[in-house]
């Protein structure tokens, strides 16, 4: 049996991928950057592991031995599921592996922005603190999150965990269901406009779909408090990036933290790279899910998916 990992770079070089050799001959590719590369690399493979490589009809038609596609993620929009089903190719994914990691990163982003941590770190390291006549420096005031309203857009597994942690800090949690179907009796559901206008912190943990694309526009940002912080750890495309850049430059909100962007890697012409007050914006390169523990759990789950498939059992199977 032959296996291939098409984009191992997304899993990192500090996790053990050699465990997949238990199933047969394994080829590991750090990146696969074109359809032609994908076709060439899987033409004789029975099992492939991929995160973001597009596996469409043409790719599958050129892989006569392919029996299993393991998506190294929760989302599987990179695979043509309907055609895989027609071809009798099984597809599996992994869910829940990164919840703790994403929740942790949510709060890391919040506190970095809220407490102006870069400013204070720079203040000390620049030598300015050494010149101070007093022991403290109040250059950038910040507020406590206890007693503040935390609005969550998308109260799925990650959103619920964020809500629990926010409550432990003393926040009042409200939420908006992007599907209009997900209601949780533990928290107060609000319409989007009301959530935006009343929240001190808004965090997004929703998928990108027809209900969420371009959900947060300039007009929606105008509803928010000038002291509010917006965090997007869902998907790029939910927040209109040009509108957010404009809102930050105009001071409509205090700050924004993004771990996801509409185009990844970021386009060099993205307006967010050219805002006037860069201290208002914190961007990380889609790393919220990448704690060592999360990636190890992801690899382990993929291993178990393959093992189950070979035993004729369905585990995390999409089709």
Nearest-angstrom CA–CA distance, 299 and 213? 30
**Whether residue 264 lies in the annotated active site:** yes
**Whether residue 315 lies in the annotated active site:** no
Strand boundaries in the chain, DSSP class E = 2-5, 25-28, 47-50, 68-71, 90-92, 149-153, 172-176, 188-189, 201-204, 229-232, 255-258, 281-283
**DSSP letters spanning 43-104:** TT-SEEEESS--B-HHHHHT-TT--EEEESSS--TTB-HHHHHHHT-EEE---STTHHHHHH
Query: From the candidates 40, 264, 307, 314, which is the catalytic residue?
Result: 264
Query: From the candidates 235, 241, 262, 301, which is the catalytic residue?
Result: 235
Phi first, then psi, for residue 41 (nearest 5°) are: -80, -20
Query: From the candidates 41, 205, 280, 286, which is the catalytic residue?
Result: 286
**Whether residue 286 lies in the annotated active site:** yes
Q: Is the dihedral of CA 197, 199, 201, 207 positive or negative?
A: negative
**Are 91 and 79 spatial neighbours (Cβ–Cβ below 8 Å)?**
yes
**Catalytic site residues?**
235, 264, 286
């Amino acid at each position: 049996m032959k296996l291939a990992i098409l984009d191992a770079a997304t899993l990192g070089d500090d996790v053990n991928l050699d465990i997949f050799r238990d199933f047969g001959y394994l080829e590991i590719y750090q990146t696969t950057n074109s359809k032609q590369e994908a076709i060439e690399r899987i033409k004789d493979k029975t099992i492939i592991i991929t995160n973001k490589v597009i596996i469409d009809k043409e790719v599958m038609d050129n892989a006569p031995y392919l029996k299993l596609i393991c998506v190294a993620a929760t989302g599987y929009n990179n695979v043509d599921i309907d055609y895989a089903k027609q071809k009798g190719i099984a597809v599996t994914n992994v869910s829940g592996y990164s919840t703790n990691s994403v929740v942790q990163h949510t709060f890391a982003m919040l506190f970095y922005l809220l407490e102006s941590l870069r400013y204070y770190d720079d203040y000390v390291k620049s030598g300015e603190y050494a010149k101070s006549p007093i022991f403290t420096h109040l250059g950038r005031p910040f507020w406590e999150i206890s007693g503040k309203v935390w609005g969550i857009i998308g109260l799925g597994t990650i959103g619920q965990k964020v809500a629990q942690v926010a409550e432990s800090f003393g926040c009042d949690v409200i939420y908006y269901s992007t599907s209009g179907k997900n209601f949780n009796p533990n928290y107060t559901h609000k319409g989007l406009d009301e959530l935006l206008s009343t929240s001190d912190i808004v965090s997004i943990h929703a998928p990108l779909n027809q209900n969420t694309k371009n959900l947060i526009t300039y007009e929606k940002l105008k509803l928010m408090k000038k002291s509010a912080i917006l965090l997007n750890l869902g998907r790029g495309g939910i927040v209109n990036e040009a509108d957010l850049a404009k809102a930050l430059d105009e001071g409509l909100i205090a700050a924004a933290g993004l771990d996801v962007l509409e185009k990844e890697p970021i386009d060099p012409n993205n307006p967010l790279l050219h805002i006037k007050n860069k201290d208002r914006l914190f961007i990380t390169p889609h790393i919220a899910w990448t704690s060592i523990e999360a990636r190890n759990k992801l690899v382990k789950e993929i291993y178990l998916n393959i093992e189950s498939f070979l035993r004729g059992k369905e585990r995390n199977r999409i089709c």
